[in-house]
Structure 1
Amino acid sequence: MSDIEPVQLWLRDYVSPGQAFHVGRRAGSASFRGTLHTHDFPEVFWIERGRLTHLVNGKRRLLAEGDVVFVRADDVHTFRPVGDEPFTQVNIALPAETLGFLEQRYFDGDDWAWASGGLPTMYRLDRVRLARLMELAALLAAGPSTRLALERFLLELLHDLVEPPVASAFPPWLGDALPRFADDPDALARGVPGLAALAGRSREHVNRVIRNSTGGTATALINELRLTRAARELRMTDLPIARIAGDCGIGNLSHFYRLFNARFGVTPRRYRLGQQTLIHGSR
């Protein structure tokens, strides 16, 4: 598509005077064809359901449910469906000045989601964080289009939902597999074989790469992913602890308690209660 001239999009065509942003949601299928374009504004979009191919800056990326992409103003991109699969995509367009303010105040260039160069930054959210992002977007769309509402949305997205990718120390094939593994209870239950299957590599190769990259074992990394997920679900859901242990791939509840206590210094129940003390006004 390098010989196609991109269409220039302008924020003024989507955001009326006095408004601070634009929220859009698109459900599509095999008949959808995006137009190659660039813009005078940054944006953030995510895949709410299904899969979508993102053609950006001359490269092709396969996006799946939970993928969040931070698009810079000068990125040139479009989208294509994946076969006959239906998809739903949500997009928020915003003024560059708002991002400039947030970057200068809170990030100072470090770990900035809209950092320049290469391809746009992408994160994959698990189901709990994707559900929260969808809640935030619904609130944003339903309320007044103010800069305060936009900054509230962006700060929670950047601070609470998006974490530095655990995959950064690993080769791309393993980095891509880890978020999918962490969000798949069946794969988590299988442990190293489940991760190897998602990565498309042998169990021995996965073990070797993880040890060379981290100095630790694949089992230790997998348990960290399991416990990180467990802690998040204890904070953000009312699911029974036994259900959370199962979702994290640990079928033996006593073993789950031992691992959790060793990692966080408290039992899962005490951890959940500790997160609620401020809400309840207790200590």
Structure 2
Amino acid sequence: MTFTLLHRDILSDGSQIHLARATLTNARPKSLHDHDFYELIWVQNGKVRHHLPDGGNTLTEGDLIFLQPGQAHALQGRGADALVVSLCIHPAIIDGLGQRHPQLQGHLFWSQTRYTRTRRDIRQLAALNHAAVLLERSARNTLEAEAFLLPLCADLTQDNLPNDTPAWLADACSSAQDPQVFRYGAAGMVALTGKAHAHVSRSMRKYLGLTPSDYINQIRMAHAARVLITDAESIAQIAADCGIPNMSHFHKLFRDAYGLTPLQYRQKYQRQVIQPT
């Protein structure tokens, strides 16, 4: 038997996103449930059994799962101190992000399947927990929900390329995550491939739907957003580290990506890092 959770009940206060933490027991769930909202879950501590209609799998600390509406599932602790964080996300938030950022199509919440699993390392998990604390303190409206989701989804989709992506392009995209590469812009990425800029540009448009400059600037802005809320470096230094010494251009790219200036973003989201208990 499966029962359905409704976002109108969880988001009854008018918020667009809701975060909950739960310590799971070792008792096997009596049934699966589905929901009419998008759900993001990550394992904060311990091991978790994720039950699905066709079986299940074991999740460990740092595992993330992206669930679309209608995906039946249930969670069960495995051992002591199994802690998960769960986000209920209004469908309009995910629909809006997908419409404005077509490069997300086929990945995560926008996958062809209802369930996507990925992983964060210790450093990335700490950053995710910090962002979750900021989200909890916020009004959890559309802006706050997107400010949490977009950097995470952009970071994850940068490594999630179509299956038919040529190996040389996949390698270049992976290497482009390194500040030693992206600070040199599209030219730095193209140089890694050993191919003509025009060929790289055509290939990226075909497989990623982006130009080399657009791809690199997404990486740069995601990096800048992380640094703005976790470090005390000046905005000028962050821009320089991204390879964009022209502050006017840096501000335009950042505002286009996040809807705020770098200073506004820092003032709104920078807090002391707090690990959830």
Q: What does 1:70-219 correspond to in 2, within 5 Å? A: 70-82=66-78, 84-107=79-102, 110-118=105-113, 120-160=115-155, 163-165=158-160
Whichever of the two has the greater Rg, that structure is 1
Offset from partner CA, 1:28-83 (integer Å, 9 cap, x none): 2424747410111111110011110111242312111111111000101011222x
Distance 2:100 2:30 in 1: 35
Distance 1:34 1:22 in 2: 24
The alignment status of 1:23 with 2:22, answered yes or no, reads no
Distance 1:278 1:73 in 2: 42
CA contact (8 A) 1:19 1:146 kept: yes
Equivalent AA in structure 2 for residue 49 of structure 1: N
Q: How far apart are residue 117 of structure 1 and its match?
A: 4.4
Offset from partner CA, 1:120-169 (integer Å, 9 cap, x none): 11111111111100001111011112110001101011113564359x79
> Is the alpha carbon distance of 1:164 and 1:11 closer, same or farther for their aligned partners in structure 2, counting shifts above 3 Å?
same
Distance 1:122 1:278 in 2: 36
1:10 maps to what in 2?
6
Equivalent AA in structure 1 for residue 150 of structure 2: L
Q: How far apart are residue 107 of structure 1 and its match?
A: 2.3
Q: For 1:100, what is the secondary structure of its paired residue?
A: helix
Distance 1:162 1:130 in 2: 16
Between 116-125 and 44-53, the greater mean CA deviation after superposition: 116-125
Q: How far apart are residue 103 of structure 1 and its match?
A: 0.6
Q: What does 1:41-60 correspond to in 2, within 5 Å? A: 41-60=37-56
Q: For 1:37, what is the secondary structure of its paired residue?
A: strand
2:257 maps to what in 1?
none
State the TM-score, normalizing by the size of structure 1: 0.56
Q: For 1:145, what is the secondary structure of its paired residue?
A: coil
Gaps of 5+ in 2: 184-232, 246-277
Q: How far apart are residue 118 of structure 1 and its match?
A: 4.0
Q: For 1:75, what is the secondary structure of its paired residue?
A: coil
State the TM-score, normalizing by the size of structure 2: 0.57
Offset from partner CA, 1:12-39 (integer Å, 9 cap, x none): 1111242111110011242474741011
Distance 2:126 2:177 in 1: 15
Distance 1:280 1:86 in 2: 38
> Is the alpha carbon distance of 1:276 and 1:19 closer, same or farther for their aligned partners in structure 2, counting shifts above 3 Å?
closer
1:251 maps to what in 2?
none
> Is the alpha carbon distance of 1:149 and 1:96 closer, same or farther for their aligned partners in structure 2, counting shifts above 3 Å?
same
Distance 1:20 1:142 in 2: 14
1:61 maps to what in 2?
57
Between 148-157 and 9-18, the greater mean CA deviation after superposition: 9-18
> Is the alpha carbon distance of 1:281 and 1:68 closer, same or farther for their aligned partners in structure 2, counting shifts above 3 Å?
closer
Distance 1:36 1:22 in 2: 21
Q: Taking every aligned residue pair, what percent have the same amino acid on both sides? A: 24
CA RMSD of superposed structures (Å) = 3.5
> Is the alpha carbon distance of 1:276 and 1:8 closer, same or farther for their aligned partners in structure 2, counting shifts above 3 Å?
same
Question: Which one has more relative contact order, counting CA pairs under 8 Å at least 6 apart?
Answer: 2
CA contact (8 A) 2:29 2:76 kept: yes
